[in-house]
Amino acid sequence: MRENVEAFDMKKVIENFERITKDAENVQKETLKRILEENASAEYLQKFELNGRTDPESFKSCVPLITYKDVEPYIDRIVDGELSSIITAKPIRAFSLSSGTSQGRQKRLPWNDELFVNTVHTFQTAFAYRNRYIPTDVNGKGLNFIYSSSKLPETKDGIILATATGHIYRHPEYKKTMKEIHSSSCSPDGVIFSPDFHQSLYCHLLCGLIFREQIQFISAIFAHSILYAFRNFEQIWEELCNDIKQGVLSSRITVPSIRTAMSEILKPDPELANLIHTKCLNLSNDWYGLIPELFPNIKYVQGIMTGVMEPYVKKLRHYAGDVPLLTTEYGASEGWVASNVNPQIPLELATYVVLPQIGFFEFIPMAQLDGTQGDIKPVGLTEVKIGEEYEVVLTNPAGLYRYILGDVVKIMGFYNSTPELKFIRRRNVLLTINLDKNTETDLQISVDTAAKYLLEEKMEVVDYTSYIDLSKEPGHYVIFLEISGEPTDELLAKCCNCLDKSLPELGYISSRKVKGIDPLELRVVKKGTFHKILEHFVSLGRSASQFKTPRCVGPTNTDMLQILSDNVVNNYFSSAYN
C-alpha cells in the first residue's frame, strides 16, 4: 500500500481535499508518476518502452487506449495461476467481479490494497462533506444494507475472485476505517457476513426496527438495494413484528451464524411490536412516508442514485417522505472516480468532484468519438471544458492503464481546479437495428413518458428492460415492463404506442416510418419477475449489493431472457406509422 489508512478525522479530510483540488494538475502528474514507478517492471508496461519516463505526454504517446478485451488475455494468465509481474510489479492476487447482468458474463478486474485505500479516500471525502451538511450523532446507528460472505472464493492457485464490495468488507482495515464513516451498523457481523442474501435482508430490517430510535441514516451502495429492501418489508412486516413481540427469530432464518448473532439482540418487546404494527396498518394503503414513520430520528437516505439508479428514485422518495435522499460517490467496477461534496444540491442536479489523487484521468471529447473531429485525443483532468461531454479514461494502481470506462459525463463546473461531473449515460448503444442508436437515457425517457398513463390510474412501473428481436426482418424493439396493479388492455396498448413514439425522431422514428424497423412490442411480465432475476444472479454467487437491472438484455444473456420470456403475461404491438 502506498500509505497507511489513517483514522478518520473529518476536519483533516476536508482540509486535504481542499488542498489537493487546488493543485489538481500537479497532483495528477504525481499520481501518474507514482503508478508508473511502482509498476515499471510489469510486463505490460515494459513492452511500450517508456524507459523510465513518467510524464503524461510520454505516457500518452507510448501507451495505447484500451478496453476490457485488450487486457483480458493478461487477466486470463493471472487467473490461471501465472504469478509473474504481468500488469503490476507485485503479482495480482485478487480480482473484483463486475455484475455481469447485461451480457450474462462477468468482467474480472484487478484488485489490490491500493484500491482499498482509494475506496477509503472516496468514502471519507463524501462522508465529511455530507456530515458537515447534515451532522449525525456519534452514538447513532445506521441501517446499512450490506451483504458479504464470511469467506471470499478462491481459485485452485489461491487467486481471490469476489465483488468489489466483498473485497472492501473483508479487508482487514475495514472495521477500523469504514465503520467510522458508516457509524455503528445496527446489524451484527453475523448478519452482514452471511451465505444467504435473503436471510441477511430479513435480519437487516429486523435490526433496524429493534434499534429504530437510534437509526440516523439508511445506506446501500445502490438505490436499488434500499428500494428492494422496503418493497420486501411490505410483504414481511407482520412476521417481523411477531419476532419482536415474541423475542423469537422466524423459522425462515436457518443459517446458524445469523441465528447466533440475532439471539444477542432480539428480546421480547410487545410494546415495540404493537407500535410498529399500528404504524404499518395505518400506512399499508400506499406506504407513503414509511421510512420516517419507522425511524423517527432518521436524517437522510444515501447511496448511488444517479445514472442507472435514477428510475428507482421516485419510488424511494415515496417511502422516504420528507427525508432527504443523498447520492454519494461515482465509480465503476474498475475503480472510483469522484465524490459528491455538495450534498445540499438537489438530487437531480447532483455532481461528483473528481479525486485527483486516486488515479490518472483522461477525457475523450464525445465529438471525437462520434466521428466529427478526426483522431481520438483525450484531454487531461484540468483541460476539460464546462458544458462539454466526455468519455472517462482511467489509469489505476491495480494494472489498468488508459482504460476506457465507457461512461459519458458532462462537465458542470470546477471545484477549485478539479472538474465537477454529471453522469450522463453509458456510451455503448443499447438499441440499434437500422440507423437508430438509442442509449439508456433514450429508453428511460420513453418509459418515463409511458409511465405517466399508469400513474393517472395509480399504478407504476416496478422495473423494465429491453431487447432487440431480430428473429425476422427487419427486427423490432421489445420492452419488458413489470407493472403494479392490474392495467387494462386499453391502457397497455396506449402505453405501447407511447413507448414507440417517445423514442428519438432521428434514427428510430424515421426508420419506423420507412419500415426499416417493425412496430415496437411491449411484453408485460408477472409481478415479481425482476425479483426472480435478482435471485437468479445471487444464486450464481454474485453480490446483491452490486446488482443493477440491465436496461438492455444482450443475446448472450440467455438465462435472463429465459426468465423474462417465461413470465410474460401479455404482449402488445404499437400502431404502424403512416
- In a domain, residue 71? The reply is yes
pLDDT confidence of residue 175: 67
Q: Is 535 helix (H, G, I), strand (E, B) or coil?
A: helix
- In a domain, residue 563? The reply is yes
Are 392 and 442 in the same domain? Answer: no
The answer for residues whose C-beta is within 8 angstroms of residue 522's C-beta and 6 or more apart is: 478, 479, 481, 492, 495, 496, 499, 571, 572, 573, 574
Are 534 and 439 in the same domain? Answer: yes
- In a domain, residue 358? The reply is yes
- In a domain, residue 170? The reply is no
Rounded Cα distance, 176 and 173, in Å: 5
Are 341 and 222 in the same domain? Answer: no
Are 314 and 362 in the same domain? Answer: no
Are 145 and 282 in the same domain? Answer: yes
Could you tell me the pTM of the whole model? 0.85
pLDDT digits (tens, 9 = 90+) for 309-322: 888 898 999 999 99
Which one of 369, 397, 426 terminates a domain? 426
pLDDT digits (tens, 9 = 90+) for 65-81: 999 999 999 999 998 88
The answer for residues whose C-beta is within 8 angstroms of residue 381's C-beta and 6 or more apart is: 24, 25, 28, 354, 356, 361, 362, 363, 418, 419
The answer for residues whose C-beta is within 8 angstroms of residue 452's C-beta and 6 or more apart is: none
C-alpha grid cell for residue 36? Answer: 508508473
- In a domain, residue 1? The reply is no
Are 304 and 341 in the same domain? Answer: no
Are 319 and 343 in the same domain? Answer: no
Give the number of domains in the chain: 3
Are 237 and 339 in the same domain? Answer: no
Are 422 and 434 in the same domain? Answer: no
Max CA pair span of the chain:
72
Are 271 and 313 in the same domain? Answer: yes
Parallel, antiparallel or unpaired: strands 215-222 and 300-304: parallel
pLDDT confidence of residue 1: 36
Closest CA relative to residue 59, chosen from 356, 362, 419? 362
- Which domain, by its residues, includes 553? 430-573
Q: Which residues of the chain have pLDDT under 70?
A: 1-8, 99-105, 149-153, 175-183, 370-374, 429, 541-543, 545, 578
Asked if 441 contacts 423 with a C-beta cutoff of 8 angstroms, the reply is no
Are 140 and 277 in the same domain? Answer: yes
Are 278 and 337 in the same domain? Answer: no
Rounded Cα distance, 50 and 52, in Å: 6
